[in-house]
Structure 1
């Protein structure tokens, strides 16, 4: 994609896609390439929770200014999306807070998403963000996420991989592991069926080998 001046413009990568990809590349591919998102009880709870959080605007409480549903972007990496909540503290600290309906997993996919939000806010607000937060509605707790260089590299890598999926035509392979049992897209993904394709092809090839290659040919 090129701009009017001839400069190359990056294909925008949604911040939400980074979390999907970090959790399961195939899940991200189904959503991005086939519009295949499916709801279950967990995703509906998450959607309702985000509706409550995503009333655009701002509010102030003693010493903290809170921005809700704040659009953000990162020109350098080509990321775009919306922050659930951004808190502006009196000392100049900017804190993005991502809301999740389920339990928080340290080092999990939510960390990548909220770190990407922090990187977008850094570019938009010309600041440096050392920490972000994920609020888990399951345990009603806010979990601090250190936006260190290791996590930033995970974000940069995920952006490149998601963009490759978006510009390609082949879905990533299925995970076919414990993640699939909790995934609302299990039916459309068919992980067990597709994961067994390689074994099926081996058996098929063995079954139809030319007679001269079979063991019983003397």
Structure 2
């Protein structure tokens, strides 16, 4: 979906707001995003706890100036036209006018992964708020302790818009996406809640449920 097409939806009323974190969750697994958005479901594991501890400092709102760089932490951002809203871990404003959103992740960085979508959404929100181009973002990986540059090109921007539309459809339809039951599930803290292997075998699940919960009218007379 193009930017102009998404904006055209505004003629029918305001867009349902989509959080930037929901974009990342949906990019990783639509069902994971659905469980969080529709059922308020979430479960921690060692990886998510490490991420929470890592974010404690950057999630404290604050402003710091060192040399020619002004650093903003836990900055709320939004894009009214696209119906996006969220919080940037860190935003650097450089003396030459450059604006850099920096997303902190505790794990390993994967080029083109879900984190790229999140930082691209942040960049697009910052562009709307500051009325300045934000062509790059950064992902800080706690695993290798370095920053990775993400170019916010047109392809990535279109991906943000497409994912926002998909998240919005999940929210408005109130329907959970199907379970993927693939390698992603091994690393997901929500696999016990999701039950991917069970739900992926829809016919087997239905057959088993029918035998367990079969209606027996004569059971009413057993007593």
TM-score range, shorter chain: 0.7 to 0.9
SS at match of 1:87: strand
Corresponding residue for 2:217?
none
| Residue 48 (structure 2) pairs with residue 43 (structure 1) | yes
SS at match of 1:11: coil
Aligned pairs for 1:75-154 within 5 A: 75-154=80-159
Q: Distance in 2 between matches of 1:174 and 1:159?
A: 20
- Cα deviations across residues 70-94 of structure 1 (Å, max 9, x unaligned)? 0000001100010000000111000
Residue 202 of structure 1 deviates from its aligned partner by: 8.8
Residue 169 of structure 1 deviates from its aligned partner by: 2.1
SS at match of 1:58: strand
Aligned pairs for 1:63-82 within 5 A: 63-82=68-87
Q: Distance in 1 between matches of 2:89 and 2:208?
A: 50
CA RMSD in angstroms, aligned pairs only? 1.9
Corresponding residue for 1:164?
169
Give the alignment's TM-score, normalised by structure 1.
Answer: 0.88
Give the alignment's TM-score, normalised by structure 2.
Answer: 0.86
Aligned pairs for 1:199-210 within 5 A: none
**Aligned residues, how many?**
200
Q: Does structure 1 retain, via aligned residues, the 8 Å contact 2:199–2:205?
A: no
Corresponding residue for 1:62?
67
1:177 to 182, 193, 201: 182
Which 5+ residue runs of structure 2 have no aligned equivalent? 1-10, 210-223
Q: Distance in 2 between matches of 1:203 and 1:39?
A: 30
SS at match of 1:66: strand
**More off after superposition, 44-53 vs 130-139:** 44-53
Runs of 4+, deviation exceeding 4 Å: 199-204
| Residue 38 (structure 2) pairs with residue 33 (structure 1) | yes
Which 5+ residue runs of structure 1 have no aligned equivalent? 1-5, 205-218
Q: Distance in 2 between matches of 1:200 and 1:144?
A: 44
Comparing both structures, which one devotes a greater share of its residues to helix? 2
**More off after superposition, 161-170 vs 98-107:** 161-170
